[in-house]
Amino acid sequence: MTGGRDAAGGPAPDRQTVLPLAVQRPRDWNTARGRISLDPPLIVGILNVTPDSFSDGGRFVTLEAAVRHAGELVTAGAGMLDVGAESTRPGAARVSDDEEWRRLAPVLDGLAREMPAVPVSVDTTRSRTAARALDAGAWVINDVSGLRLDAAIADECARRGAGLVLMHSRGSVAEMATYDLAQYADVTADVARELEGSIDRALRRGVARGRLVLDPGLGFAKTPEQSLTVLRGLADLARFGLPIMIGPSRKRFLGAVTGRDVAERDAATAAACAMGYLFGASIFRVHAVAPTRDALAMAHALSAN
């Protein structure tokens, strides 16, 4: 691809993008409760049990609503559920770890009771919550701070053999989804270098390499154009030999490209996931599973040897 216009409408720099259709991806992921296949690609359904998440805040805060929606996500094609109880939207107020656990505990219990074979990850930046969640049946901890805010999360994962997602971000929980820290010399190289630091922290604390997954943090401390650049440059993360997860779902950079509001970005999300797969990702965290499932089925078929 050369020339054209960038996401803000100005001239885009000349570049040539080559899709690495033959990219080598890890075929599975070891977690606390078993091995998860990543071929075909894994869709992770988002289950927010918060009153203030940017896309679906307040919709699934009751146990009945949360478990019902989890079943809908799995029926639509999700192979894993990611449960979060604290919003990272710009300016969101932090909750205490006791409040975070008050929201999580009944949902994890309900999921373990109603769908025990479905892998569950818990989105948290706190080691105390991580320990409680893993003891309650979670397979994976998804740390959006990449062990920057509480490196003891790695200790809890190491003790239990849990999977651990290391996402790139900068700043506090309240800052990380803003553009306040979105200054990079080379965003692709800088994200890879900072995630390498997260990998080192995890390994030093005893997490086995085969239990790690990397997430470049699309939209986190990244402008729309920076998010597109990182997505285009996933090969810089593939060199670590770890599975890559992306979470483009309904984010602002999709709105910058399409002009659509949050609730109308599921088609763009599916397209971003399909392109992300061709660039090297194998795990996709989304709100709307069905369109992403179809887009990934096509991307997987086109890249098959």
The Cα 198–Cα 202 span in angstroms is 6
Catalytic residue among 25, 222, 251, 252: 251
The Cα 32–Cα 162 span in angstroms is 4
The Cα 98–Cα 132 span in angstroms is 11
Is residue 222 part of the annotated active site? The answer reads: no
Element (H, E) at 48: strand 42-48
The Cα 305–Cα 303 span in angstroms is 6
The Cα 190–Cα 210 span in angstroms is 23
Catalytic residue among 148, 250, 285, 293: 285
pLDDT in single tens digits along all 305 residues of the chain? 333 444 444 334 444 556 665 678 999 999 999 999 999 999 999 999 987 444 544 455 688 889 999 999 999 999 999 999 998 777 667 889 999 999 999 999 999 999 999 999 999 999 999 999 999 999 999 999 999 999 999 999 999 999 999 999 999 998 999 999 999 999 999 999 999 999 999 999 999 999 999 999 999 999 999 999 999 999 999 999 999 999 999 999 999 999 999 999 999 999 999 999 999 999 999 999 999 999 999 999 998 75
Is residue 103 part of the annotated active site? The answer reads: no
CATH superfamily of 28-303: Dihydropteroate synthase-like (3.20.20.20)
- Report the helix count and the strand count for the chain, using DSSP H and E: 10, 10
Which residues, in sequence order, are bridge partners of residue 31? 34
